[in-house]
Amino acid sequence: MLLQVPGVLTKAEVAQVRARIDSAEWADGNATSGSQSALAKVNLQLPEDSSAAREAGAFIREALTRNPLFMSAALPHTVYPPLFNRYGGGQAFGDHIDNALRFHRDTGVRIRTDLSATLFLAEPEDYDGGELVIEDTFGLHEVKLPAGDLILYPASSLHRVEPVTRGERVGSFFWIQSLVREDARRTLLFDMDLAIQKLAQGAGQADPAIVSLTGAYHNLLRMWSEL
Ligand code: NI
């Protein structure tokens, strides 16, 4: 599933995060790469143990837990502490697939990356290029979203960031270990949850058919989730 989650941060919150990270010291982006993707990656990254990354990351994780669309689609078990990068002056990140496992030294967080997420922290009109291109079974998808919006996609997908030829692309990226490992199952639960919510708006939550469907949703979640 490829899903856009609008308004994870408000514009004011984006400005707050940008103020915190823009003034921090940035480093070569290859610090978090595997040896193969290091060859493809040219950008700047905020060191993951810096206080700016920690604070801005905690702020984003907090915003995610308040977002019902994100929670329903990702069914997060653990969200990796968000990282931050910036691309300008022709910088890019060539085709790669993210590492399957991630270990965060500082916090001891250790996850299997089921989902990848990018939160856009610059407005699309402020830079040229920088599209996130994601390949799935339906073909190529070019993603460039307003600041504050997030894209969620299976971490198993091949993806790249196109060269940024004007201005600067600033973003946060991170991974999620989901309670439901398999994308097809997670997608089915998400579709079901959305449909139940729509039905409940019309008929009311006490409608016996909705009670039964809600029960079926939870019983599938119980069958498929891993804690
Ligand atoms: Ni990646």
The band of 32, judged by pLDDT with boundaries at 50, 70 and 90, is low
Distance 37 CA to ligand 1 centre (A): 8
What's the 170 CA to ligand 1 centre distance in angstroms? 15
Ligand 1 midpoint to CA 24 (Å): 23
Does residue 40 carry a pLDDT above 80? no
Distance (angstroms) between ligand 1 centre and the Cα of 160 equals 7
Distances (CA, A) of 132 to 20, 110, 150: 24, 26, 12
With a CB cutoff of 8 Å and minimum separation 6, the contacts of 218 are none
Is 132:161 a contact under the CB 8 Å cutoff? yes
Q: How far apart are CA 200 and CA 107, in angstroms?
A: 40
Q: How far apart are CA 31 and CA 85, in angstroms?
A: 11
pTM: 0.94
CA–centroid distance, 62 to ligand 1, in Å, is 23
Tokens of 144: 């460039």
CA of 54 from ligand 1 middle (Å) equals 20
Q: Is 106 exposed, middle or buried (0-12, 13-18, 19+ CB in 10 A)?
A: exposed
Stretch 17-35: mean pLDDT, rounded? 85
pLDDT attached to residue 31: 67
Instruction: Return the pLDDT at 224.
Output: 98
Q: Is the Cβ–Cβ distance between 111 and 101 less than 8 Å? A: yes
Confidence of residue 206 (pLDDT cuts 50, 70, 90): confident
131 burial class (0-12, 13-18, 19+ CB within 10 angstroms)?
Answer: middle
Write phi, then psi, for 173 (nearest 5 degrees). -135, 150
Q: What is the mean pLDDT of the chain?
A: 94
Q: Which residue has the tokens 């490829």?
A: 2
pLDDT of residue 2: 95
Question: Rounded distance, CA 63 to CA 187, Å?
Answer: 22
Q: Any residues with CB less than 8 A from the CB of 67 and at least 6 apart, and which?
A: 5, 8
| Percent of the chain whose pLDDT exceeds 90 | 86
Is the pLDDT at 202 greater than 90? The verdict is no
Distance CA 95, CA 226 (A): 31
